[in-house]
């Protein structure tokens, strides 16, 4: 089955996320489990947890179709040990919130070395942080998202992602989410047939398609290898609509969340309908 849907709001309570997703005709969705621009948040009320689970059941969303995202503030590659400890505590809290909601994945940006250590050392720090967090919280998989390579952000290449996954050493508890805009910005040319196949062949070689846990479907306002993290609606950027149709129709991407983070909510229903039609067609 193809799980396709947007990153939806939790305004009014996390239990509203599945309701919001269903309103767009989505078969999957992403969400933040708290305000993504704050370090801490009150615990999720038990009533909200129960209502979230009930609404997921009501609208047919299994944990396999739901991709929570952690706070943008968390940097697991922070070289300063005191600041990294604070980031680790926040990441553990995010994992715990997912577990409370019955969710099995947490999508996150790996982190930044802040130009204070080498990229390899930064990758090692991130891997150590992820391993520590997973040992604290069972049942939830840490899903590394590739980055556009802007600034000192790590995880922009499949080689770096493979290095971090190997260093964590917990393959059953880790995986990768490919963001198409980020991949294109980092130099993976998804806009044509040859580049598309080369990208996923390289991923399979280095990481393994069995470790692809999710994808973010975003067109790109920037150019190939431009390292610009600016999402565009499907078909209104440099990647082009046909690529997203190919992803939707590709049997390699069955049963994982394919999440729209496109900037125009008014187009979400149209984008979902296009992808589902290609998936079924």
In the annotation, is 182 catalytic? yes
CA distances from 144 to 60, 70, 128, 161, 279 (A): 26, 11, 14, 7, 25
Marked catalytic residue, from 113, 173, 213, 231? 231
In the annotation, is 271 catalytic? no
SS3 91: helix
Marked catalytic residue, from 229, 271, 274, 278? 229
Marked catalytic residue, from 15, 70, 93, 145? 145
In the annotation, is 7 catalytic? no
CA distances from 195 to 183, 201, 224, 272, 279 (A): 11, 10, 11, 24, 21
Marked catalytic residue, from 179, 213, 219, 271? 179
Marked catalytic residue, from 7, 84, 97, 109? 109
Residues 6+ apart with CB under 8 A from 232: 181, 218, 219, 220, 221, 238, 262, 263
In the annotation, is 231 catalytic? yes
In the annotation, is 72 catalytic? yes
Q: Could you tell me if 144 and 110 are in contact, meaning their C-beta atoms sit under 8 angstroms apart?
A: yes
Tokens matching residue 278: 């290609």
CA 100 to chain centroid? 19
In the annotation, is 261 catalytic? yes
In the annotation, is 229 catalytic? yes
Marked catalytic residue, from 7, 15, 61, 69? 69
Marked catalytic residue, from 84, 113, 173, 182? 182
In the annotation, is 219 catalytic? no
In the annotation, is 37 catalytic? yes
Rounded to an integer, what distance in angstroms lies between the CA atom of residue 12 and that of residue 150? Answer: 34
Q: Could you tell me if 224 and 192 are in contact, meaning their C-beta atoms sit under 8 angstroms apart?
A: no
**Location of structure tokens 């998202």:** 145
Marked catalytic residue, from 131, 261, 264, 267? 261
Marked catalytic residue, from 7, 216, 219, 271? 216
Active-site positions read 37, 69, 72, 109, 145, 179, 182, 216, 229, 231, 261
């Amino acid at each position: 089955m193809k799980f396709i849907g947007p990153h939806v709001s939790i305004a009014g309570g996390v239990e509203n996320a599945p309701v919001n997703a269903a309103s767009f005709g989505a078969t999957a969705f992403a969400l933040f489990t708290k305000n993504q621009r704050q370090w801490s948040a009150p615990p999720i009320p038990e009533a909200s947890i129960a209502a979230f689970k009930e609404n997921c059941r009501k609208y047919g969303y299994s944990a396999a179709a739901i991709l929570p995202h952690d706070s943008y503030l968390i940097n697991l590659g922070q070289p300063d040990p005191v600041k990294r400890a604070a980031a680790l505590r926040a990441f553990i809290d995010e994992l715990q919130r997912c577990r409370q909601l019955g969710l099995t994945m947490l999508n996150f940006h790996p982190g930044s070395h802040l130009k204070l250590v080498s990229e390899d050392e930064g990758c090692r720090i991130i891997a150590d942080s992820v391993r520590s967090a997973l040992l604290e919280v069972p049942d939830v998989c840490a899903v590394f998202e590739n980055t556009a390579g802007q600034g000192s952000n790590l995880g922009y290449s499949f080689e770096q992602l493979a290095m971090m996954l190997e260093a964590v050493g917990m393959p059953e508890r880790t995986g990768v989410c490919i963001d198409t805009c980020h991949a294109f910005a980092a130099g993976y040319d998804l806009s044509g047939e040859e580049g598309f196949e080369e990208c996923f062949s390289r991923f399979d070689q280095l990481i393994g398609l069995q470790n692809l846990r999710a994808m973010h479907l975003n067109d790109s306002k920037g150019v190939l290898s431009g390292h610009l993290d600016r999402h565009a609606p499907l078909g209104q950027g440099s990647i082009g609509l046909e690529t997203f149709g190919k992803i939707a129709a590709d049997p390699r991407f069955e049963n994982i969340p394919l999440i729209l983070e496109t900037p125009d909510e008014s187009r979400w229903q149209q984008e979902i309908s296009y992808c589902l039609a290609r998936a079924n067609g």
